[in-house]
Amino acid sequence: MFVGNSGTRKRIDWRIPAAWLTLCIVWSSTWLAIKVGLRDLPPISYVAIRFLIAIVALIAVSVGHTRLRPKRRSDYGVLAFTGVLMFAINYVLLFWGELYVSSGLAAILQASIPIFGMVFAHWLLPEEPLRWQRLLGAFVSIGGVALICARLLSFNGWLAFLGGLGITIGAASAAFSNVLLKSRRMDLAPAMMAAWQMIFGTAPLLVIGFIVDGNPARFHWTGTAIFCLLYLAIIGSSLTFLLLYWLMPLMSVTKLQTISLITPPGAIALGWALGGERLSVWSLLGACFVLAGVWMIFRPLADEKEAAERALESQVAAPRA
């Protein structure tokens, strides 16, 4: 939406791509940070402590600046449900899966988020209908995921296969969370929306982590582990989810989730350069299918280009009326 004078319009235009680009860069780096931190920290407690720190940071920046609680009681139910999907199920499966697959491969499997999101948006967001070209792209990507998981089973055993499958299931949970949250159109600041989701998703993980992993004071707290934890909590969670929920009402779910197309190449490059990771030829082939399918999903269609041009013309003409 364009408001105010021309300077204001330019500033709003600049913030949207800057926020989107920041998400791409940061989320390309988090995969390797997860992998390195897992050398010293158990996955469930690693997730729980990460988001506990992120909650504190988000509330700290919100106090005195915005409303801390949702207006409607029913919003708590939505935040609780989506919080468990996004921060409990998705991230626990992701961290656990990265015990057995490379950080680059985990990023590729999570690139299926927009595929699931596209299908869920068709049912929950009338303004984002499913098109046959995108459905074809979804099948191409799913074929790539199936190829990767099959090779993981053949060469790395059941744990690697289950790790890859778990990451994919987590991606579906995250996609449904994003679509459901957008369909709700909640009147709550982005920072507190993320904080409440993290509260509901992290609370059960703290209990489960203490039972399964033991007392956090007895973990192997190396300098590297602490750095990875703080980076993931402050930069990879507090900052990124604040930007994600700020962008959500300004972009379609489909376009917003193109971030999942950008992060795998970045994650693979960082894993290769800094983590000494390698991908097999079959995994690379599967990755090509995944990314090709995602590209097919997000390629602008002719009627969408025309609609976008008409919308732009109306926005430009509006201030002159």
Tokens 């991230």 belong to 91
Please spell the DSSP secondary structure of 101-146, one letter per residue.
S-HHHHHHHHTTHHHHHHHHHHHH-TTS---HHHHHHHHHHHHHHH
Measured in degrees and rounded to the nearest 5, phi and psi for residue 162 equal: -65, -35
What's the pLDDT band for 285 if we cut at 50, 70, 90? confident
Alpha helices, DSSP H, located in 185-301: 190-213, 223-230, 240-247, 253-256, 259-274, 281-298
Highest mean pLDDT among 21-25, 37-41, 113-117, 313-317: 37-41
What confidence tens digit (pLDDT) does each residue in 129-165 have? 777 777 788 788 778 877 776 766 665 678 888 998 9
Averaged over 210-215, what is the pLDDT? 94
pLDDT band at 288; cut points 50, 70, 90 = confident
The DSSP call for residue 88 is I
Q: What is the pLDDT of residues 291-308, one digit of tens each?
A: 788 777 767 666 555 554
Residue 72 is predicted with a pLDDT of 87
d(CA 265, CA 52): 29
Q: What pLDDT is stored for residue 254 in this prediction?
A: 64
Calculate the alpha carbon distances from 56 to 13, 52, 67, 83, 197 in Å.
Answer: 30, 7, 16, 16, 13
CA gap 108, 94 in Å, rounded: 12
pLDDT: which is higher, 194 or 142: 194
For 219-275, the pLDDT digits (tens) are 999 999 999 999 999 999 999 988 988 888 887 776 676 677 677 777 877 887 787
Q: Are 24 and 266 in contact (CB under 8 A)?
A: yes
pLDDT tops 70 at residue 312? no
Q: What is the pTM of this model?
A: 0.76
pLDDT of residue 204: 95
Phi-psi region at 157: left, alpha or beta (left = phi > 0; alpha = psi -120 to 50): left
Give the pLDDT band (50/70/90) at residue 311.
very low
Q: What is the pLDDT of residues 58-113, one digit of tens each?
A: 999 899 888 899 988 889 999 999 999 999 999 999 999 989 888 878 888 887 88
Alpha carbons 312 and 37: distance in angstroms, whole number: 46
Cβ(90)–Cβ(170) under 8 Å?
A: yes
Name every residue whose Cβ is closer than 8 Å to that of residue 225 and which is 6 or more positions away in sequence. 37, 39, 40, 41, 219
- Report the Cα 11 to chain-centroid distance in Å: 26
> What pLDDT score was predicted for residue 187?
83
Residues 80, 198: Cα–Cα separation, whole Å:
9
